[in-house]
Structure 1
């Protein structure tokens, strides 16, 4: 089925693996959006993202790297 925007923890885990040297605290939402859409397992409409969803993904990513 693939990842959807609401799968914040699973997306965060994949972002940690795809971008191990990135500090998610400083990532721009435009870059985050592009990186999520580029994940091999991502299968959702890119236009359905919101600032709130991107922020939730960023916070989950921060939790994963800490």
Structure 2
């Protein structure tokens, strides 16, 4: 899984962290959680604020 797979990342984050409210996640934690996903395999340097915002929004949409 790569940074561009925003929807899949959001699904996996919602499954890995069901107790977390994605509206309250800071970007440092979000990035670390994405990097810790078992299927994630991309360069951390390719991540930026826009990608993290998109992941966070997709996660919010996933649990809504």
Listed one character per residue, the Cα deviations across residues 4-33 of structure 1 (whole Å, up to 9, x for unaligned) are 001000000000000000000010000000
- The 2-side partners of 1:26 and 1:20 are apart by 13
List runs of 5+ in structure 1 lacking aligned partners.
none
Task: Give the gaps of 5 or more residues in structure 2.
Answer: none
Please identify runs of 4+ aligned residues in structure 1 that moved more than 4 A. Answer: none
TM-score of the aligned structures, taking structure 1 as reference length: 0.96
2:60 corresponds in structure 1 to 62
Could you tell me which residue of structure 2 aligns to residue 21 of structure 1? 19
- Alpha carbon RMSD of aligned pairs, Å? 0.3
